[in-house]
Amino acid sequence: ASVEELKRLIDIATLEADAYEFPRDSRIYKAKDEKIIDIGFYDFVIVGGGVAGSVIASRLSEIRQWNILVLEAGKIENSEFNQIMGYAAFLSLSDMSWGFRSVPQTTACLGFVNQSCRAFRARGMGGTSLMNGAVYERGMPSTFDEWAEITNDPSWSYENILPLFKRSEDFHLRNPNTPVEWNYHGRGGLLNVEQKIPQDFLASLFLQGHSELGSDIRDYNGRSQLGASIFQLYTKNGRRQNVYEAFLQPVEHRRPNLHIMTESYVTKIDIQRMMNEATGVIFTRHGKTYRVKTTKDVILTAGVFQTPQILMLSGIGPMEHLQEMGIHVIRDLEVGSQLKEDPLCQAIYVTTNMTKPVETLDQNLRDFLRGEGSLTQAYSTSGVAFQRSQFEEKNYADLEFIAATLDKSDFDVRYAGWKNETYQAAWGENSNAIAINVHNVNPRSSGTVRLNSADPFDHPLIDFNLMSDSEGHDMAVLYEGVRRVFDLMQTPTFQTLNPDYRGNPLPGCEQHEFLSKEYWYCFLRHTCTAANHVRGSCPMGKDPREGAIVDSRFRVFGVRRLIVADSSVMPTSMSGHPTGTILMIAEKAADTIKSQYPHSHTSEAIRSDYRIPSRVDTIKSGYRYPHHHHFNHYHHNHNTRTY
Ligand SMILES: Cc1cc2nc3c(=O)[nH]c(=O)nc-3n(C[C@H](O)[C@H](O)[C@H](O)COP(=O)(O)OP(=O)(O)OC[C@H]3O[C@@H](n4cnc5c(N)ncnc54)[C@H](O)[C@@H]3O)c2cc1C
C-alpha cells in the first residue's frame, strides 16, 4: 500500500477504537435454530484457530490420511493495518477483540474503572497473535526441567524441547550490535523472528545503563534469560505476521484434508457417558446449530479463558461450581482454579531532558514500508531486562523491565481502562517522559476462571486476583522492581538525561507519605494491571488430585479422546511473554498425537459417514474430501448447498 492508503486505514481504525464498546457477552453467536444438524466425521476437530490451534492444524494436516476441521469463532483477518505493530493497541478495541474484563478486583487494578483489569484476547484465525505485541521469548531453560519433574515425563526437559523451539523458528539477525547464541536458534522454520531496526536511542541507553549496574547484555533466548536485551519479535520485515499466516496460510491450499470453518462458535463437547469419551462438538454458525463427530480426538485450543469455559459447559470442572450452575458433572476436575497472570505496572513515568526525534506520521509510514522504524514495534517499547529479585529462590527471572517512550494520551486511558484521576496523577507534572515498566513475571498469586451461568454465550468470569498471595511475596517483588527503576536512573548514563520523577500523589494513596514504601505499595495496587500473559487455567501435571487437568501428553484426566493444548496447560510461569512457549507446546502436542496414531491409518467411518460440509459443486470426482475452503468466503452464495 501507499502512505496515503495506510493513513486512510489508520483513520478508520482510530474511529473504530474511539467508538468501541466492550461486548457484555457472546450472544452474536447465538443460534436462532437450536435443532442440531449433524455434519458427520473428521479425524480431529480443533476448537479455536489461535496460536496453538494454527500450529496443530498445520502439523496434523501434514498427514494426508487424516482429515482435520478447525472451528474458529472469528474470521480471516487480512487488513494491512493489522500489520502495523505501532498501532497494535488499537486492535484490542476492534471487532477482533473478545472484549473480556476481569470481575472487580480488590488487590490490583484499583486505579481502573470498576476496579477491573482488561483481559484482552483476539478472535480470528491466528487468535491473539492477531493483535499482540509479537515479542518472541521462551523463558528460562530451567523452567522446562521443572515441567519434566512436575509431569514426571523427561520428554519435557529443556534438552528435549529445545529442538521444538528451533523447529518453529526462522531467526534473522537484523541488528548486528546484539549478541546471539546461534545454537539456540532455528533457521528455516515457519515463523520469522527478527529485531527492530534501527536500534533506537532509548534502547541503547537502557542497555548501557544496565551494564553499568552489572547486568549482562545478552540474547534472552539463549542459555540464560537474565540480563538486558532488545526484543526479538516474530514480525517479518517489520510487519506483523500472525501465527495463522506463518503456519497455515502457506500450506492450506495444498491440503484438501484440512477444513477451516470460521465464524463457528463451539458451545459444548459431546461426551459419551458410558465410555467417558469425547465424540465430537456442538457449534453454532450463522444462526444454526451443528454437531461434528471425531474418529480420533477433540483438541481444545480456545485459549486460556474459553478452553476452561467449554470444559465446564461440558461437565468437566469443579463439582460444586458445576452443580451450582446446574450442569451435570462428568468429571470433577479443578478446571480454571489456578489461573496465572503477571502484574504489570506501566505508570512509572520519568521526566528527562532527552530530545526525542521529531517524527511525522508520513516519515514513520515510509520507514514502515521499508520494514524499519518506530512503527515496526508495538507500544513504543525499547529495551528489555530480565532480573532476579532477592526473593527469587531459584535461578529464574521474576522481574522484567521494559523501557518505553510515551506521551500522555486519551487513547491510553480508554485502552487500559484507567480512572482518569489516577492516570492524571500518575503523569503529574512529568513531561518529555520515558516509562520503565515493572513486570513481575513469576508471581505466586493465582486467580480463577468460572462460568457466569450454564449459558455458553455468557462471558466467563475472570478473576485475576493479582498480588494476593498471603505472604505478600508478589508485592515485595514489585516494590523491589520500583526501587531498581530508581537505581537505573542513578547510573551515569541515565544521569546525563537529568531524570526526575514528577508524579503527583495518587487518589486513594494520599494517606501515605509520598514516595515512602507504604506509598509505593498503594501505588502498585492502583496501577498494576494484567500483562495479558495469562496461562495455567488447565495445568498439566501428574495427578488430578493435585489440581492437574491434563497429563504430560495433553490428555484430560478421566475423559478419553479429549486433548487440551494451548496456554491453558502451562503448569508454571516461564518468566515472560508466553507465545514462544505456546508454539513449542503446540509443536509437542502435534508430535505426541502423531506418535499415538499410526500414520497410515484411515478410518472407514469417514468414507461412509462423511457428509460434504461445503459447496457441492466444488467436488470433483476422485476427491475423497471437498477441496479446502474458508467457509466465510462464500456463505453469501445462495445457489449452492451451504449450511
Ligand atoms: C494485547 C496483548 C499483547 C500481547 N503481547 C504478547 C507478546 O508480545 N508476546 C507474547 O509472547 N505474548 C503476547 N500476548 C499473549 C499471547 O498473544 C497469548 O498468550 C497467546 O495468543 C495465547 O495463545 P492460545 O493459542 O492459548 O490462544 P489464542 O491465541 O487466544 O487463540 C484462541 C482462539 O480460540 C478461539 N475461540 C475461543 N473460544 C472459541 C469458541 N467457543 N469456539 C470457537 N473458537 C473459539 C478464539 O477466537 C481464538 O482465535 C499478548 C496478548 C495480548 C492480549
CA-to-CA distance for 376 and 89, rounded, in angstroms?
13
Structural contact between residues 99 and 119, judged by C-beta atoms closer than 8 angstroms: no
Atom number of ligand 1 nearest to Cα 127: 49
Ligand 1 centroid–CA 121 distance in Å is 5
CA angle 317, 321, 326 (to 5 degrees): 100
pLDDT at 637 over 70: no
- Residue 190 carries which DSSP code? S
* Sole residue written with cell 527471572: 397
- Å from CA of 52 to ligand 1 middle: 9
Distance 132 CA to ligand 1 centre (A): 8
Check residue 620 and give its pLDDT: 28
- With cut-offs at 50, 70 and 90, classify the pLDDT of residue 643: very low
Cα-flanking dihedrals φ and ψ of residue 218, to 5°? -150, 175
pLDDT for 137 beyond 80? yes
Query: What per-residue confidence (pLDDT) applies to 564?
Result: 98
Instruction: State in Å: Cα 346 to ligand 1 middle.
Output: 21
Predicted local distance difference test score (pLDDT) of residue 599:
72
Residue 85: name the closest of 190, 251, 236, 206 by CA. Answer: 236
**Interval 591-596 mean pLDDT:** 97
Q: Find where cell 511525522 sits.
A: 360
How is residue 433 written as a grid cell? 517522559
Give the separation between CA 210 and CA 491, rounded to whole angstroms: 8
Residue 294: pLDDT band (50, 70, 90) is very high
Whether 294 contacts 42, CB under 8 Å: yes
State the distance from the centre of ligand 1 to the C-alpha of 449, rounded, in angstroms: 16
DSSP H or E stretch at residue 386: strand 381-387
What distance in Å separates the CA atoms of residue 586 and residue 566, rounded to the nearest whole number? 7
SS3 51: helix
pLDDT at 561 over 50: yes
Q: How far apart are CA 241 and CA 252, in angstroms?
A: 16
Q: What's the start-to-end Cα distance of the chain, in Å?
A: 36
d(Cα 626, Cα 31) in Å, to the nearest integer? 26
DSSP 3-state helix, strand, coil percentages of the chain (rounded to 5)? 35, 20, 45
* Among 561, 562, 530, 578, CA closest to 116: 530
Determine the pLDDT at residue 602: 42
Ligand 1, atom nearest to 568 Cα? 26
Give buried/exposed letters for 205-225 (b at 16+ CB in 10 A, else e): bbbbbbebeebebbbbbbebb
Of 109, 22, 90, the residue nearest 422 (C-alpha) = 109
- Compute the distance from residue 236 Cα to the ligand 1 centre, in Å: 19
Which residue(s) pair with 307 in the sheet? none
Q: HSE on the CB side for 357, CA within 13 Å?
A: 10
Amino acid at 59: R
The atom of ligand 1 lying closest to the CA of 582 is 23
In this structure, which residue's CA is closest to atom 53 in ligand 1? 120
Between vectors from CA 233 to CA 198 and to CA 117, what angle results, nearest 5°? 115
CA 258 to chain centre: 24
Looking at ligand 1, which atom is closest to the CA of residue 283? Answer: 42
Q: Is the pLDDT of residue 629 over 60?
A: no
Q: What is the DSSP letter of 101?
A: B
pLDDT at 358: 81
Render 464-525 in DSSP notation, one character per residue: --TT--TT-HHHHHHHHHHHHHHHHHTSHHHHTT--B--PPPPTT-TTSPTTSHHHHHHHHH
Q: What's the pLDDT tens digit per position in 219-253?
A: 999 999 999 999 999 999 999 999 999 999 999 99
Distance 567 CA to ligand 1 centre (A): 8
Condensed to tens digits (0 to 9), the pLDDT of residues 33-86 reads 889 999 999 999 999 999 999 999 999 999 999 999 999 999 999 999 999 999
Q: Whose C-alpha lies nearest to ligand 1, atom 15?
A: 533
Mean pLDDT of 165-179: 96
Which residue among 121, 282, 284 is best mutated to probe the pocket of ligand 1, counting the most ligand atoms within 8 A of its Cβ? 121
Pocket of ligand 1 (CB under 6 A): 47-53, 71-74, 92, 120-121, 123-124, 127-129, 131-135, 265-266, 301-304, 306, 310, 532-533, 566-567, 577-579, 582
Q: For atom 13 of ligand 1, which residue has the closest CA?
A: 132
pLDDT over 70, % of the chain: 93
Q: What b/e readout covers 236-274, taking b as 16+ CB neighbours within 10 angstroms?
A: bbbbbbbbbbbbbbeebeebbbbbbbbbbbbbbbbbeee
Query: Domain spans of the chain?
Result: 3-79+244-336+537-633
Residues 108, 464 contacting (CB under 8 angstroms): yes
Q: How far apart are CA 514 and CA 69, in angstroms?
A: 58
Q: Output the residue whose Cα is nearest ligand 1's atom 17.
A: 128
Q: How far is the CA of 127 from the centre of ligand 1 (A)?
A: 5
**Gyration radius (Cα) of the chain, Å:** 24
Residue 303's alpha-carbon distances to 135, 326, 372, 452, 568, in angstroms, are: 18, 24, 32, 17, 6
Residue bearing the CA closest to ligand 1, atom 37: 302
- Answer yes or no: are the C-beta atoms of 345 and 524 closer than 8 Å: yes
Q: How far is CA 168 from CA 148, 416, 515, 560, in A?
A: 21, 32, 46, 29
CA of 578 to the centre of ligand 1 (A): 10
Establish how many alpha carbons lie within 13 A of residue 129's alpha carbon, considering only the half-sphere containing its beta carbon: 33
Residues above pLDDT 90, as percent of the chain: 90
Strand runs labelled E in 244-355: 258-261, 264-272, 277-285, 288-300, 316-317, 331-332, 343-345, 349-351
All three cell numbers of 381, joined, read 517499547
Contact 466, 117 (CB under 8 A): yes
The pLDDT assigned to 600 comes to 61
What does 592-615 look like in DSSP terms, one character per residue? HHHHHS-TT---HHHHHH----S-
List, for residues 344-388, the tens digit of each pLDDT value.
999 999 999 988 778 899 999 999 999 999 999 999 999 999 999
CA of 307 to the centre of ligand 1 (A): 11
Q: How many angstroms separate the alpha carbon of residue 505 from the centre of ligand 1? A: 36
How far is residue 440's CA from residue 59's CA, in Å, rounded to a whole number?
A: 34
Task: Give CA 128 to chain center in angstroms.
Answer: 5
Instruction: State how far Cα 399 lies from the chain centre.
Output: 19
Is pLDDT at 624 greater than 60 in this prediction? no
Element (H, E) at 401: strand 399-405
Phi, psi angle pair for 87, to nearest 5°: -105, 15
Residue nearest to atom 9 of ligand 1 (CA): 135
Q: Which superfamily, per CATH, for 3-79+244-336+537-633? A: FAD/NAD(P)-binding domain (3.50.50.60)
